[in-house]
Amino acid sequence: MGIYREYIFPYLLEFGMSRAVLQKHRMEILSRARGDILEIGFGSGINLQFYPVEVQKVTVIEPNHALSSMAKKRINLYKIKVESYYQSADTLPFPDNLFDTVVSTYTLCSIKDIDKALSEIHRVLRTNGQFLFLEHGLSLDPCVQRWQNRLNSINKAIADGCNLNRNIKELIELHELRISELDTFYLEKTPKIAGYNYKGIAIKTN
C-alpha cells in the first residue's frame, strides 16, 4: 500500500480532482476566503488558482509527501506564499484562535480521526471565523445510502482511506460550528455514490 499511496494514487487523485466539473464549485467557495487562511488537505495545490487576488498567504496541511511534491509546480505558478506542514489534520501545530478562515475541499472524507480533526479546526479558528467546505458524503436518498455503505470498505482500500458515507453536515455541527450556508447536490458526470456534495460555510460562534 506504501508504493500505491506514494507512486500511483497521487496521480489518480490529481486526475480526479482536476476535472472541469469541479472548478465552478471550488471557485464559488474559495471566493469567500479572507484574512489568515489555513487549508486542510492541500493535495497538489489545485485550490491556489481559485483564491481571491487579495490573498497573499495560505498555511497548508498535507500528510502525503508525494502530493506535496506535486504541489511545488503549482506553488511556483502563483504569487500566493504557501507555508506547508506535512502532517494530518487531527493534530494541528498551531495556537488557539489563529485563523480567520479554514478551508477543506474533498478532504474530510479521508481523515482517519474526523472528530479530532474537526475539534482542531474549531480550536484554531478565531471567534466568528469561518470554515469553508466542499465535500462529498452521505446521500439523503436511502437507495444511494445503501450502496455507499456496501461499497465503503472497498472505496477506502483503493482511494487512500476515502469514505463514501460520512454525513458532513452532522459531523460539522457536532463540533460547535454553526452552518450559515449550505448547498447539497449531486455532482455532474459523477456516480451518485461518490457524487453527493456538501458545499457551505460554518461559523465558530464561541
**Cell numbers linked to 173:** 455541527
Residue range 2-204 in CATH 3.40.50.150: yes
Average pLDDT of 160-189?
96
Q: What is the pTM of this model?
A: 0.92
Ordered by start, the domain boundaries in the chain are 2-204
pLDDT tens, 130-165?
999 999 999 999 999 999 999 999 999 998 899 999
